């Protein structure tokens, strides 16, 4: 399983929180690339809901990662 920013961004509009099956269904219905669906299928299914993309890919950059504090400059 591998994630890239482009692949993970396909799940930004997913109905969070969601189960593994709900995420796979969302990916299929939204036309996500096959790699996204394959990555979701490889997730361990413990019956718990995922709260956000960070639960699936902890290194997913947030919007705060792209902005700097303009007051500092």
Ranking 22-26, 31-35, 45-49, 62-66 by mean pLDDT, the lowest is: 62-66
At residue 17, the pLDDT reads: 96
At residue 68, the pLDDT reads: 58
Q: How many distinct structural domains can be found in the chain? A: 1
Residue 18 falls inside a structural domain: yes
Residue 65 falls inside a structural domain: no
Q: Which domain holds residue 18?
A: 7-44
Residue 14 falls inside a structural domain: yes
Residue 11 falls inside a structural domain: yes
At residue 29, the pLDDT reads: 97
Tokens of 53: 């993309």
Residue 36 falls inside a structural domain: yes
At residue 46, the pLDDT reads: 81
pLDDT in tens, 36-68: 999 999 998 888 899 999 999 888 876 665 555
At residue 71, the pLDDT reads: 63
């Amino acid at each position: 399983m591998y994630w890239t920013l482009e692949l993970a961004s396909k799940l930004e509009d997913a109905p969070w929180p969601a189960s593994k099956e709900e995420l796979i269904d969302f990916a299929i219905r939204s036309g996500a690339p096959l790699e996204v669906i394959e990555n979701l299928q490889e997730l361990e299914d413990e019956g718990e809901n995922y709260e956000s993309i960070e639960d699936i890919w902890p290194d997913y950059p947030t919007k705060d990662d792209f902005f700097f504090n303009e007051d500092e400059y």
